[in-house]
Amino acid sequence: MALGATAELLPANAYRIRAGDARDLKRLHQLLFNASQPEYIAVAGGLEQARALGPVVNLLQALLRGSQTFVCEAHSGIVGMIETREGGRDVRHTLVPLWRAAWRLLHTYGVSRLPGIVRRMQLRARLEFAAVPGAYHLTQLAVDPQVRGRGMGAALLRHAEADARRRGFRRISLTTGSANPACKLFEREGFRIVAQRSDAEFTRLTASAGRFLMTKELYG
Ligand SMILES: CC(C)(COP(=O)(O)OP(=O)(O)OC[C@H]1O[C@@H](n2cnc3c(N)ncnc32)[C@H](O)[C@@H]1OP(=O)(O)O)[C@@H](O)C(=O)NCCC(=O)NCCS
């Protein structure tokens, strides 16, 4: 169903949320990078580049931090995912060697355009927040555009929250672009903006005012 159409919440028995693993990787990359955010497309230098670069950035981030992914599976297959920084089981893609990422970068941009993408990635990095101490951090959230607006995003957020509580965390954090309509969903789920970062050059590049750090306290 297209976003904006009248959508009903999917009943809980129409999908299940489970831990993702290496077999899900291809589908997860489709979910994350086929419908990338405008901010991300601007940094990548275009839609095609965003699709090609996405998995590289994702792999690099995963390599650096380790992560756990939960996937939402409906009868049609995986329709949503949430990635968290804390968790017991790393998905296998944390083991993909760096040289593959470097090769993809070179293949996508060629030698002449490498300095440009490096510069834009540095620009994006300026807007990054320091990790919130002791927080369970949400690094990615995506739902298939065909089934958005039917409660899947909220269900994934609640699943991650339950995981955080089970592990004894008292706070969850995430970062997002200030223009991302997902902010409304996060606020509805109890997240509050605790810090903002902006940069004139970044705004010129992406038309986004900046980025938010949002947290949710888990008391009781
Ligand atoms: C954010 C996202 C995961 C939400 O998934 P979802 O299954 O549609 O979420 P839900 O059905 O539980 O909630 C829908 C709510 O999300 C918000 N929302 C998120 N993105 C939206 C968009 N592009 N347009 C309109 N509303 C959006 C709205 O508040 C909406 O509720 P409302 O229509 O009643 O106001 C999904 O839109 C997505 O994959 N977006 C692209 C990736 C992304 O931005 N991820 C977050 C990065 S921090």
CA 165 to chain CA mean position, Å: 21
- List residues bridging with 193 in a β-sheet: 214
The answer to whether residue 6 is domain-embedded is: no
The answer to whether residue 196 is domain-embedded is: yes
Asked whether residue 197 carries a pLDDT value surpassing 80, the answer given is: yes
The answer to whether residue 2 is domain-embedded is: no
Q: Which residue has the higher pLDDT, 215 or 133?
A: 215
pLDDT tens for 13-23 read: 899 999 998 78
Give the torsion sign (CA, 164, 150, 19, 52): negative
The answer to whether residue 8 is domain-embedded is: no
- Ligand 1: atom nearest CA of 35 is 41
Q: Is the Cβ–Cβ distance between 213 and 178 less than 8 Å?
A: no
The CATH code of the domain that includes 132 is 3.40.630.30
Q: Which residue has the higher pLDDT, 36 or 208?
A: 208
Spatial separation of the C-alpha atoms in residues 211 and 126, rounded to whole Å: 10
Report the pocket of ligand 1 as residue ranges, CB < 6 Å: 3, 37, 141-143, 148-154, 176, 180-182, 184-185
Helix (H) or strand (E) holding 145: none
The answer to whether residue 7 is domain-embedded is: no
Average pLDDT, the chain: 86
Residue 133: domain span: 15-217
Q: What is each CA distance from 62 to 16, 37, 45, 52, 68, in whole angstroms?
A: 24, 19, 22, 17, 9
CA of 109 to the centre of ligand 1 (A): 31
The answer to whether residue 91 is domain-embedded is: yes
Q: How many domains are there within the chain?
A: 1
Burial 136-163 (b: 16+ CB within 10 A, else e): bbbbbbbbbeebbbbbbbebbbebbbeb
CA of 149 to the centre of ligand 1 (A): 6
pLDDT tens for 153-188 read: 999 999 999 999 999 999 999 999 999 999 999 999
The answer to whether residue 191 is domain-embedded is: yes
- Ligand 1: atom nearest CA of 148 is 8
The answer to whether residue 1 is domain-embedded is: no
Per-residue pLDDT at 29:
84
User: Please, which pLDDT band fits residue 195 given cuts at 50, 70 and 90?
Assistant: very high
Per-residue pLDDT at 32:
84
Per-residue pLDDT at 220:
64
Asked whether residue 96 carries a pLDDT value surpassing 60, the answer given is: no
Per-residue pLDDT at 55:
73
Mean pLDDT of 116-126: 90
